Amino acid sequence: MRVMAQLAMVMNLDKCIGCHTCSVTCKQTWTNRDGVEYAWFNNVETKPGQGYPRRYEDQERWRGGWELRRGKLVPAAGGRLRRLANLFANPEMPALEDYYEPWTYDYRTLTDAPLGDDTPVARPVSAITGEPTSVRWGPNWEDSLGGAPEHARADPMVQRLGQEIRLEFEQSFMFYLPRICEHCLNPSCVASCPSGAMYKRSEDGIVLVDQDRCRGWRMCVSGCPYKKVYFNHRTGKAEKCTFCYPRLEVGLPTVCAETCVGRLRYIGVLLYDADRVGEAASEPDEQRLYQAQLGVFLDPHDPEVVRAAERAGVPHDWITAAQRSPVHSLITRYRVALPLHPEYRTMPMVWYIPPLSPVVDALAGTGFDGEEAGNLFGAIDALRIPLDYLAGMFTAGDPEPVRLALRRLAAMRSHMRAVNLGETPDPAASTGVGMDVGSLEAMYRLLAVAKYEDRYVIPTAAVGQAHDLEGIATTCSVGDEPAPGGRTDLFVWRDGERPAGMFPTLREKGKP
């Protein structure tokens, strides 16, 4: 057993209101500069929808993540020779139109227009070329179902359902999905990087890009199945979500979590057995990958695990934080948080509590008590948000873990409603989902009324050595892929030179 610590995040989708505050504050902090106008390290998608970049979940098209071939994990994008062949013309890398061409408005037309009979109009202008453009797509074109009737049927998850979804206004369903880099245990972006610039910090598991070593090959962009690595076409470097590591190193949460209006994000430490990661990611049955990843996590209260962590050099503050971690409670104790697309085999470390909200109003509209446990349990499979759709996102199609999570959330609602009204809680609400009353109430305190220090349990043991953390990398290779610790540049060029920009259509136009 080789114990390592990982900072992780859980988001409660039942509380996301789609205000995009997290996206805006992240944008202002990390990507408010030339070259990454199109990049959103944090974005909030409306589901059903194609997402950002468009249809990123279609791995048959983009070939990100890992595949299991003859019992061995290999990058879905292919081996070294195939990646070398795609180096200068990679058909599996999103183009600008798959993201969107960022724009602003010609406000000078409004401020400097002479007096006249006509009202001046500020036309959209490309933020990249500076030329007039037509707005055809955005980072969330289906926001609040705005474009759903036309575009939602192209959602890869909807197409996998094999059935027509209901998009009429009175029958439609939707929920918001905030997304950041998953900071995976088995990141395919790290294994795809030919220059070793992508690395995973051994202290906290955060995946970063060494800007000095990055050569702009963009293999990390195509290798990431979540498409959360971006290419800066001004600097010729890859950039991505940093999990706000400068803030975490001093005990502060990420900017997206700090500014979240719905208080739906939780940050904490998970202890895991690094020796099990490769085996878990190689689970042949995709629908068992969720359970396999759960088997990688360790119980921080187990004395044997604590001793092993101390022998491995995990600081005492990190072990204590893991014992208090809200992320550990939601993922492994209560089993209400689920990973996003475990079938990519990257072992993601940003997990989600599936949405339950519409069921109460739907039940109340039929004349039944929408908060009664028996009614709630019976309505789980009849949610407006199809259970199979959620299972396709969070458990590779297995509906049982999603059903259990939703039933536990429903049981918590029913129990706490009885408590708040002074009624005698129905014991079947807790026993029916394999929990006791104490666990239901503890889960309620965490999900509904948790204070700041309970939602963000971030150790600060590394503050004294924060300046050293950027240079610390850990090997992350599976199978015959090289570890990113050594320099494996395929080509080298002089300082100041870089490969062609990410968007050849713009370059061909001769735009600056």
Least confident of 24-38, 384-398, 449-463, 483-497: 483-497
* 8 Å CB contact between 26 and 42: yes
Residue 71 burial by CB count (10 A; 0-12/13-18/19+): exposed, middle or buried?
Answer: exposed
Task: With CA atoms as reference, report the closest residue to 36 among 240, 243, 220.
Answer: 240
Least confident of 115-124, 230-239, 463-472, 487-496: 487-496
The tokens 């990113």 sit on which residue?
A: 484
**Residue 369, domain CATH:** 1.10.3650.10
Residue 275 lies in a domain: no
Residue 362 lies in a domain: yes
- Percentage, residues of the chain above pLDDT 70: 82
Query: Which residues span the domain enclosing 420?
Result: 354-450
Highest averaged pLDDT of the listed ranges 138-142, 239-243, 356-360, 426-430 = 239-243
For the cut 50, the answer to whether the pLDDT of residue 293 exceeds it is yes
Residue 289 lies in a domain: no
pLDDT, tens digit, 9 for 90 and up, residues 315-366: 999 999 999 999 999 999 999 999 999 999 999 999 999 998 665 555 555 5
- Percentage, residues of the chain above pLDDT 90: 60
Residue 446 lies in a domain: yes
Over range 243-249, report the average pLDDT.
Answer: 94
pTM passes above 0.75: yes
The tokens 């570890």 sit on which residue?
A: 483
Residue 330 lies in a domain: no
Least confident of 9-13, 84-88, 143-147, 373-377: 373-377
pLDDT at res. 498: 34
Residues near 44 by Cβ (< 8 Å), separated by ≥ 6? 16, 18, 20, 22, 23, 140, 176, 177, 178, 179
Highest averaged pLDDT of the listed ranges 5-9, 79-83, 120-124, 126-130 = 5-9
SS3 state at 394: helix
pLDDT at res. 507: 38
* 8 Å CB contact between 41 and 241: yes
Residue 416 lies in a domain: yes
Residue 139: C-alpha distances to residues 52, 100, 325, 504 (Å):
5, 7, 32, 20
Strand-strand pairing, 72-75 and 66-69: antiparallel
> How many structural domains does the chain have?
1
pLDDT at res. 509: 37
For the cut 90, the answer to whether the pLDDT of residue 280 exceeds it is yes
Residue 146 lies in a domain: no
Residue 407 lies in a domain: yes
pLDDT at res. 345: 97
Over range 194-203, report the average pLDDT.
Answer: 93
